[in-house]
Structure 1
Amino acid sequence: MIFDPAAPPQGTVRDWLDARAAAGGVALVFPETDDTLTWKDLRDTARDMARGLTGLGVAQGESIAIVHPNGREGVLALYAALYGGFRATMINLAAGPSAIAYALDHSGARFAFVHDSQTATIRDVAPDGLRIISADMLGKPQDIPAFDATAHALLMYTSGTTGTPKGVVHTHASLLAGGWTAALAHALTPQDRGFCVLPIYHINGLCVTMMGALVSGGSLAMTAKFSASRFWDQAGSSQITWFSVVPTIISHLLHSDTVPDAATRARLRFGRSASSALAVETQQAFEDRFGVPIVETMGLTETAAQILSNPLPPGTRKIGSPGVAYGNDVRILTPELTPAPPLQSGEIAVRGPNVMAEYLRNPDATAKTFAGDWLRTGDLGHMDADGYVYVTGRLKELIIKGGENIAPREIDEVLYSEPDIIEAAAFARPCKSYGETVEAAVAIRPGSTVSEDALIALCHDRLGKFKSPDCIHFLPELPKGPSGKIQRMKLSDLV
């Protein structure tokens, strides 16, 4: 099966894995262990495991929980579930016991592949009847029943920071389309090797890097987790040509003492930023220091990751925008859910082959998320005359002070212009006079003497007093989700 930029992938993950195995070559390298996994070995092991799961009596479309950090075992468990036509249910290791318990129960999983480091946690929270298994605990191999691209492939739970987590369901078609949109935007080829430092239980790590490599025929380097001190050495030894990270990782790399060597710098085509807005100052400082272009993008769990991307150099990258649509359609909606006029702000909506099938067992939430066949992202923004989208914030994160809407990102951008800021996020605090008022939290580099008064003065100068934070909290680090995205909604309670 061959990557076609003109049309989304046909068939199932099983079909594509068979094709990659037939073509041969390396699928993954693991720099922390010096291990290598070829496409053939990956397919053969995944197929054997899938036959063993069928032998256990696992039904087509049934959830198989996967509780693994990045690594060989987790990759094999994921592909085994996908190859067998089961619903790979990725459990967020950073979600906390109650969210993990909810996901295991709500998914209906009867079997779970669990990493040794997570066994005790899962035994404590698992619903009755959940059986922990491994590759050597499967049933007598049986033939795998046929299934098509409409079959459920992936179940991934949203963070649930504003309510009960929702189980996002992707079919084989939408999961592959998620890899296709990334491969399309970034012109990925079989010669490319990506760097997967984001967890594969997050949609970015799973779709952009793993599905992107499957669809394009390239390969990946994968680490158990991100390390600022080892990132460039691992990138060099693994001979990567691109990487996908989040803004907090870019900021931590920028403030680290390590740099890529000349060969690594020459080999790298681009770095990719997603999951939350990248501050303009951070992007410019990173490119100036390391000489590696950063392509800002945007995506959701519900869209199998990417919906927007800036073009690769020498195409026009508009810093401050996550770019234009690749492989799907994007529009701006008014509060009445009608198309907004050009340049008018509203809610960003998307339709395309990468959009989810449903929220599992939650028809009301599914219906509210769609306006016709357009998926409502919950993000606010506008589109310029060239089709570039500018994100101004989240509907749920808007600060409403005295009836005036304030986008937290405006304040974040100003705080990130201070070179000593590593992480920053503005948030709302209840207020008797205004309804809500503005505060912010920051993490600063060790040894910095930057003060609260200086940061507030900077905001006053750039934003005026009304939009500026009344106070700024200094924290060792800001709360983050599994992808590294700052969880703004938690800050008011935390501070």
Structure 2
Amino acid sequence: MPNAADAIWRHADERPDAVALRARGRVWTYAELRDHVAAYAGALRAEGVRPGERLLLIAPTGPEFVVVAGAAHTAGAVLITLNTMATASEVGYALDDSGARLVVAWYETAEAARKAAGERGLPFLMLRHDAQVSEGEPLPEPVERRADDTALLLYTSGTTGRPKGVELSITNLAFTAEAFGQQLTLTPADRFATALPLFHVFGQAVCLNGTLTAGASISLLSPFEPNAMLRMVRDDQVTLIAGVPTMWNAMLHADGDFGPDDFADLRLAGSGGASLPGEVIREFQKRFGCTILEGYGLTESTGAGAFNSPYHGPRTGSVGPALPGTGIEVRDPAGEVLPPGEVGEVYLTGPHIMKGYWNRPEATAADLPDGRLRTGDLGRLDEDGFLYIVDRLKDLVIRGGYNVYPREVEEVLYGHPDIVEAAVIGVPHPHYGEEVAAVVTLRPGAALTAEDLRAWAKERLSAYKVPHLVQFVDALPKGSTGKILKRALDWDALVG
């Protein structure tokens, strides 16, 4: 019977001295990782955690997160992972909604979790360096579970209402790990690296689980800092690296003399979480001699969907073809499948699609019609099956009856030499319904004006797509993964 922690045990038995983790100057072998996971699983059992019960973990990217996550799976618990910046009320909501049995939190960010647990009379464990425990006997092996048992419960961001718990099964996690391992040709000799938050589906289900399933090693960095990430690539002789667009952009603009020689061992860089401007891809290749390949997935699809293969050749602007074993369709509002080239809502199918939303049968039925996942993303497929994400359905700007896709406008803005980051949004307008607005950050010392930006954009965009409203800011709001948060951009507040 399967368990989401089986890979740790398997590699510890077969290759005990092989490196599993690198972080904070320390190396963890698979045997060491397995022993820590077994001990922590025993501590969870001593706290009364039984198979199927929910356990909430709040911790940054690091070996300790890996230990507790592995221990939760080993003990047969359903793991819930939350943002380290979650407030007491946000933690409390997840606890109440999930019926969690125990809370574990990293000592530096534990106050909100401790408070929420205390208010509910729930046991609380403080997580410290190396995840050392003194209670309980180590579990000798992972608890047997069914393939369709829920292993992971991840809460959505709640942009369209209260957060929903996405139920991911052992099969979901195993399929994503295997699919990416196949697409990236991961081997035990690979050295993966990321600074992504492991509490997010990209970092946890794709990067961490994919690496451990393959028996490779993973270098972990927290918090993300561009120069530290570049040094990690060089010093750990990294062969694969994963990040989100803001990370690549930050590394591209990092100080120092980093160049292609520092990336000599790197064979692949993968990006997800948001659209990656083509200009960033081109400039990254120019500076570091490294091609970034884009992929696409959602929490509801266990982070999997599409990914560019290094062996088929990337297509700029595309997130690649469907991963092995997955299906992609583009449908119109009536649910009819559209032919290649036409824009519609993207639907995903495959063993990676969630079981559903925790205790939300109506929301599950709405987003999983006939077992297909409605993504809420607008996209198109080309004749070869490569997917192009046009934009989020809810981000579409309709100006005077014309559809304006913010991503297209942002791609153009990123091509300006003075612009570092850009976000395009719709602002209510009495005549046009919505007006196109751009919020941008500039490189140090740049003197670009709104008039300059509009004039430059008019040469490259149809008139109705040109941002008529422009605001310059020092920084754009970002979420825990580094993704720009358009919902946090209040135009009235920006201009007022």
Q: Deviations over 1:181-216 (max 9, x none)?
A: 221221111111111210101111112210111221
- Match for 1:430: what amino acid? P
Structure 1 counterpart SS, 2:44: helix
Task: Specify the alignment match of 1:388 in structure 2.
Answer: 386
- Match for 2:314: what amino acid? R
Distance 2:451 2:107 in 1: 48
Q: State yes or no: 1:321 paired with 2:314.
A: no
Task: Specify the alignment match of 2:227 in structure 1.
Answer: 229
Instruction: Give structure 1 stretches of 5+ with no counterpart.
Output: 1-9
- Match for 1:133: what amino acid? L
Task: Specify the alignment match of 1:5 in structure 2.
Answer: none
- Match for 1:344: what amino acid? E
Q: State yes or no: 1:312 paired with 2:305.
A: no
Distance 1:452 1:100 in 2: 42
Any residues of structure 2 matched to 1:461-476 within 5 Å, and which?
A: 461-476=459-474
Instruction: Give structure 2 stretches of 5+ with no counterpart.
Output: 127-131
> Of 318, 335, 338, which aligns to 2:336?
338
* 8 Å contact kept, 2:233–2:263: no
* 8 Å contact kept, 2:378–2:389: yes
Task: Specify the alignment match of 2:19 in structure 1.
Answer: 26
- Match for 1:123: what amino acid? R
Q: State yes or no: 1:360 paired with 2:358.
A: yes
1:141 shift after superposition: 5.8
Any residues of structure 2 matched to 1:84-123 within 5 Å, and which?
A: 84-123=75-114
* 8 Å contact kept, 1:236–1:260: no
Provide the identity percentage. 35
- Match for 2:125: what amino acid? I
* 8 Å contact kept, 2:62–2:220: yes
* 8 Å contact kept, 2:38–2:139: no
Distance 2:62 2:44 in 1: 21
Task: Specify the alignment match of 2:256 in structure 1.
Answer: 258
Higher mean C-alpha displacement, 299-308 vs 93-102: 93-102
Any residues of structure 2 matched to 1:362-441 within 5 Å, and which?
A: 362-441=360-439
1:96 shift after superposition: 4.4
1:80 shift after superposition: 0.6
- Match for 1:378: what amino acid? G
Q: State yes or no: 1:35 paired with 2:5.
A: no
Task: Specify the alignment match of 1:4 in structure 2.
Answer: none
The 1:485/1:65 distance shift into structure 2, 3 A limit, reads same
Q: State yes or no: 1:80 paired with 2:87.
A: no
- Match for 1:320: what amino acid? G
Task: Specify the alignment match of 2:485 in structure 1.
Answer: 487
In the superposition, the TM-score normalised over structure 2's length comes to: 0.93
Alignment RMSD: 1.8
* 8 Å contact kept, 1:54–1:141: no
Structure 2 counterpart SS, 1:229: helix
Any residues of structure 2 matched to 1:119-130 within 5 Å, and which?
A: 119-126=110-117, 127-130=119-122
* 8 Å contact kept, 1:202–1:483: yes
1:14 shift after superposition: 2.8
Aligned length: 483
Task: Specify the alignment match of 1:7 in structure 2.
Answer: none
In the superposition, the TM-score normalised over structure 1's length comes to: 0.93
Q: State yes or no: 1:14 paired with 2:5.
A: yes
* 8 Å contact kept, 2:3–2:170: yes
Higher mean C-alpha displacement, 84-93 vs 454-463: 454-463
> Of 300, 303, 309, which aligns to 1:302?
300
* 8 Å contact kept, 1:440–1:469: yes
Distance 1:258 1:184 in 2: 35
Task: Specify the alignment match of 1:3 in structure 2.
Answer: none
Q: Deviations over 1:298-338 (max 9, x none)?
A: 1111111121111115x221011011011211111111112
* 8 Å contact kept, 1:255–1:445: no
The 1:335/1:222 distance shift into structure 2, 3 A limit, reads same
* 8 Å contact kept, 1:179–1:207: yes
1:138 shift after superposition: 4.4
Task: Specify the alignment match of 2:240 in structure 1.
Answer: 242
